[in-house]
Amino acid sequence: MITVQEYLREHGCDEDLGRLISLIADQADPIRGAFIANQSYATTLNSSGEVQAELDAWADDHLIRVMKGSGLVSRIASEEQDEVVECPGSCSDYTVVMDPLDGSSLIAVNLAVGSIFGIYKGPILQKGRNLAAALYLLYGPMTTLTLSIGSGVATFALADDGRFLLMEDGIRMPEGSIYGSGGTRPEWTGKHTAFITSIEDGGGKVRYSGSFVADFHQILKYGGLYAYPASRGRPEGKLRLVFEAQPIGFLAMQAGGRISDGFTDILDILPTDVHQKIPIYVGSRGLIERLESMEE
């Protein structure tokens, strides 16, 4: 059985980056351990104006405290923080961008949720293609870690002894027909409606839970499409470029899939604001290319 630490060494991962990834992996247990105790909604709003669950704030505080204390991170941008958190005294130049708890409203109904991380060398506002690593924790029937350090994608499962053990390496996203789209049909744009209809006409099967990490993970394994599109009332979509689209897009690309805003590859977009939102289409390469070739 290969542990995540052994995998990182075998793949020639930079030592500090490997230590940082290990540190993040070690937080899976405390985060999922907090689910029972912290289920209510706080009265606070996050930077995107969304009501925070207590757990959102707890996971955010916990991760920032652990990373700040590690000396391995220079700055942290979190979906839950208005401002970038500077970490003076760091021995490295790594930036972590994160959604500490993605899909947290699903915890009350015991559906799978996740945590998303991107790690850059240098400043925050970079193209997603520059990521040194992207990873997510998925708290489902198993707790898993899905990771890329730029040499393919691997998934590890958390064992009883606290180690993440390799389940699958070299994951390739197949062409597939599972699909899920956020938003509501009356609000969708003409192009989005036509695209989803074409998938349905081709025998597509809807699977959408409301947790980006969980919904993406099944697309990674089975192929197909996850979308959170622009809508008439919300042209920028709902999901965040830096915290969600870039890390998940990097993982999709490393598995042979694609991420797009409907027109262009999201990994080529230079963010101008940490909290910027973007319409997202992520999934099998063929489907995304078909979407991009469709007329508006």
Query: Known binding site for substrate: residues?
Result: 102-105, 208, 238
| 43 vs 293, beta carbon nearer ligand AFP | 43
Least distance to ligand AFP, CB of residue 228, Å = 6
* Angle ∠(171,219,115) on CA atoms, nearest 5: 85
- C-alpha distances (whole Å) from 191 to each of 137, 138, 216, 259, 261 are 33, 32, 22, 17, 12
Dmax (CA) of the chain: 56
Least distance to ligand AFP, CB of residue 188, Å = 13
* Whether 180 contacts 214, CB under 8 Å: no
Q: Any bridge partners for residue 145, and if so which? A: 137, 156
Q: How many CB atoms lie within 10 A of CB 130?
A: 15
Question: Residue ranges for the binding site for Mg(2+)?
Answer: 79, 99, 101-102, 244
Least distance to ligand AFP, CB of residue 3, Å = 29
| 18 vs 114, beta carbon nearer ligand AFP | 114
Q: Report the Cα–Cα distance between both ends of the chain, in Å, rounded.
A: 49
| 13 vs 178, beta carbon nearer ligand AFP | 178
What are the start-end ranges of the H helices in 12-116? 15-26, 28-33, 54-70
Tally of residues, the chain: 296
Which chain residues interact with ligand AFP by CB under 6 A?
50, 99, 102-105, 182, 210-212, 215, 228, 238-239
Tell me the residue nearest to ligand AFP as measured from the CB.
212
| 210 vs 286, beta carbon nearer ligand AFP | 210
Question: Residue ranges for the binding site?
Answer: 79, 99, 101-105, 208, 238, 244
| 16 vs 60, beta carbon nearer ligand AFP | 60
Least distance to ligand AFP, CB of residue 91, Å = 31
Rounded Cα distance between 145 and 137, Å, is: 5
**CA nearest 118: which of 110, 108, 105, 128?**
128
| 183 vs 204, beta carbon nearer ligand AFP | 183
| 99 vs 261, beta carbon nearer ligand AFP | 99
The DSSP code for 142 is S
Least distance to ligand AFP, CB of residue 212, Å = 3
* Whether 111 contacts 210, CB under 8 Å: yes
Q: How many CB atoms lie within 10 A of CB 20?
A: 23
Least distance to ligand AFP, CB of residue 208, Å = 7
* Angle ∠(43,48,51) on CA atoms, nearest 5: 25
Least distance to ligand AFP, CB of residue 169, Å = 26
